[in-house]
Amino acid sequence: MGIIRPLDEHLANQIAAGEVVERPASVLKELIENAVDAGSTRVDVSAEEGGLNLLRVADDGSGIQPDDMLLAFQRHATSKISSGKDLFQIATLGFRGEALPSIAAVAKVKCVSATDDSGLGRLLEIEGGNMLANRDTNAPKGTEMVVKDLFYNTPARLKYMKTIQTELGHLSDVVYRQALARPDIAFTFSHNGNLLLRTPGNGDLRQVVAAIYGTASAKAMIAVNEESPDYTLIGLTAMPTETRANRNAVTVLVNGRYVRSQAVAQPLLQAYHTLLPLHRYPLTVLDLKMHPTLVDVNVHPAKLEVRFSKENELRAFVESAIKKALSTEAYIPSGAAVR
Ligand code: ADP
Ligand code: MG
């Protein structure tokens, strides 16, 4: 008799959770991505104790059909892709179908969702992978996810959590980046009952920047707006007088997804060249749009890294776009922008 056997589903989910759910901020990222993918115009986020006690994300998006509620929490179950072809042209933030089952394996989750304005919806409760309730309930259109007592059943992971303040910092980072990525969505974020962020959701990126970084910083930014046959680059980048000590000042979005990309960040800094003091970074929000086939987002479970198929061309495009933006404000002689 052989000794190899498939893992049971709960164990498989716990193992996947080790990859997807590193800390409260990784849960929050997945929940907000789902809210955004659902076509929401409003996303309300609240957290308690750095997200370890409670994370709540409520949206007014498409909602989950009653029959789909349980499936949403099953591994590799997704409404976002269906064929291998889809994997090479991903237009949503999620696609792996791993987040909800992973989260539900290591926390107590309540999901209330409705797909229309009838007032009738569905409630599902799962604790450590066990279903406690799945019944009809009153609910407004959209979805509310409540995640309590994260890592309550994985004490080893819980021990690694840093202070509330550190976890809150990571949570804020996630909310800020999503808010910057989608100025057309109204976000709120509160922690322990204190409202920390409210964005208007009117599509104006500068107002989102103002809500996060302050009005003065928002005013000291130059619009970037450049197009090539393959790429569009839209955003705001700081005047060289408005620099920050932290690399975090640079937000790079690819098709609306926050990513860590040297292929975009490096040419950005190169464009500033000697205008930037040593170890200073411009406050920047850049959204790079391209056909989904030109970028592979399926590189890492957290989807933070991407691979570009024409990286050199992209680097040149970004550098010249930023130089052009800086030259319109006369920081670079305009001749230098066109190489
Ligand atoms: P993925 O986002 O990769 O599809 P998830 O585990 O995050 O996987 O979610 C599983 C499915 O649950 C999604 O494909 C979607 O159909 C549904 N879902 C999750 N959150 C929401 C939400 N806020 N609004 C509508 N549908 C949702
Ligand atoms: Mg998801």
Model pTM score? 0.91
CA 152 to ligand 1 center in whole angstroms: 23
What value of ipTM does the predicted structure carry?
0.99
Instruction: Say if residue 338's pLDDT is above 50.
Output: no
CA 324 to ligand 1 center in whole angstroms: 40
Q: Which atom of ligand 1 is nearest to the CA of 143?
A: 23
CA 132 to ligand 1 center in whole angstroms: 20
Instruction: Give the pLDDT confidence of 187-222 residue by residue, as tens digits.
Output: 999 999 999 999 999 999 999 999 999 999 999 999
Q: Is 129 in the pocket of ligand 1 (CB under 6 A)?
A: no
Burial class (CB in 10 A: 0-12, 13-18, 19+), 194: exposed
Averaged over 296-325, what is the pLDDT?
88
Are 312 and 263 spatial neighbours (Cβ–Cβ below 8 Å)? no
The DSSP code sequence of 150-206 is TTTT-HHHHHT---HHHHHHHHHHHHHHHHHH-TTSEEEEEETTEEEEE---SS-HH
**Rounded Cα–Cα distance for residues 16 and 169 (Å):** 25
CA 220 to ligand 2 center in whole angstroms: 35
Averaged over 251-272, what is the pLDDT?
93
* Across 19-28, 280-289, 302-311, least confident range: 302-311
Averaged over 75-103, what is the pLDDT?
84
Instruction: Say if residue 336's pLDDT is above 70.
Output: no
Q: Which ligand is nearest to the CA of 73?
A: 1
Instruction: Give the pLDDT confidence of 134-166 residue by residue, as tens digits.
Output: 999 999 999 999 999 999 998 888 888 789 999
Q: Is 143 in the pocket of ligand 1 (CB under 6 A)?
A: yes
